[in-house]
Amino acid sequence: MEKKSFLFGLIVLIIFCGGFLAGVLYSKHFTIKTSVVKQVPHSEKKPAPKEKPEIKTSSSKVLMGYVQDFRDPASIDYSKMTHVIFSFAHPAKDGSVLLNGDMALKNLRSTVGKAHKQNTKVILAVGGWYHIQGGESYDYFKEALANPSSRKKLVNELMRIIGREHLDGVDIDYEHPRSSEDARNLAVFTRELSERLHSQNKELSIAVYSKVHSVTGAEVKSVVFEPSMFQYVDHVNIMAYDGQYDVGYNAAYLSPFSFAENAVNYWAVLFEDHKLPKEKLVLGVPAYAQPEEQSIKQVSYATIIKKNPANGKRDTVSMNGTTYHYNGMDTIQKKTKLAMDQGFGGMMLWEAGHDAQGPQSVTSVISQVLTKSELASK
């Protein structure tokens, strides 16, 4: 009995040890297989990287030219401008919008057709210095913006015209807010119009007074802006010209380079202080000449070049018994470079209808500098 018990116990021990050994071996085998699976190396063959498609982009700098409503649209060179600003629609005190009759409407439609063929945008300027019903536009604009009802109507009327005439946006040309109340009402109008325009992928620009004295460079505080307003616009067109009236009357201060320097510095600092992008800033230059004899009318830059092409290299010329002051090609180049060096978004001229044709034109000179600036930044 004891022998049988011993044999039985030996058999059980052998079975137990065999099972234990088999389990250990199986466990090791499983671990090794799992490890092998995890450590399988990736293929040494690397696929050739795909080339990124070349995306052609247009210049990010704008070249904006105001065009008055009586100009023959066929006389304008749209090819080098990014924007034509058709001037003007006139705000009435009740918020309605007036155009200068059938002639203006016809020219507007022709301008849109011709500009769009050149991929140039057309935006409608509302305001200006003189009103179609007489006097300054200021009084009409001020009253329209002060009342919420007329302000809303003005926004609706502008949007209606933008849609009907296939325009690309609006330019606000309120000349000029003269109190804190004016500035607040303009800011509200700008925000409300911006919301409507941007919801339809349209643009909003605003023409602003230079805010600096053309001779001393000091800030002109009689014109008031609410800086927060500029967050709602795409372009801020600085009217750095017509400085001849800052010292009684002196045609030499129409728009000298020093005037542009002071204006550029003022607006650059203002935008930096308020953390606004300087790319919105657009420096304006004149395409006309101011006579030293105040009773004589201004003449266009085109007239000066037609008189003698060499005048394009000067800033003064004697004609009609008086001396005229203007911006020649060298000054225009310097001003454009000045704006680009400060990080401005482009240039503007008043007005494209005054410009000469060909390589001596203000538009051509600006376009060349902008193109060089773009290439240098790439």
Q: Extract the residue ranges of the chain whose pLDDT is less than 70.
A: 1-59
- By the 8 A CB rule, do 130 and 87 touch? no
pTM: 0.84
The pLDDT assigned to 51 comes to 36
The strand pair at 322-325 and 316-319 is best described as antiparallel
Tens of pLDDT along 230-262? 999 999 999 999 999 998 999 999 999 999 999
Q: Which residues contact 223 (CB under 8 A, 6 or more apart)?
A: 176, 177, 178, 209, 211
The pLDDT assigned to 56 comes to 29
The pLDDT assigned to 52 comes to 34
Domains defined for the chain, CATH in brackets: 62-377 (3.20.20.80)
Q: In angstroms, rounded to a whole number, what is the distance separating the alpha carbons of residues 221 and 209? A: 11
What secondary structure letter does DSSP report for 50?
P
The pLDDT assigned to 370 comes to 95
User: What residue type is assigned to position 131 of the chain?
Assistant: H
User: What residue type is assigned to position 63 of the chain?
Assistant: L
The residue to which tokens 């992008």 are assigned: 277
Angle between the N-to-C axes of helices 257-273 and 329-341, in degrees from 0 to 180, rounded to the nearest 10: 20
Q: Which residues contact 227 (CB under 8 A, 6 or more apart)?
A: 270, 274, 276
The pLDDT assigned to 59 comes to 57
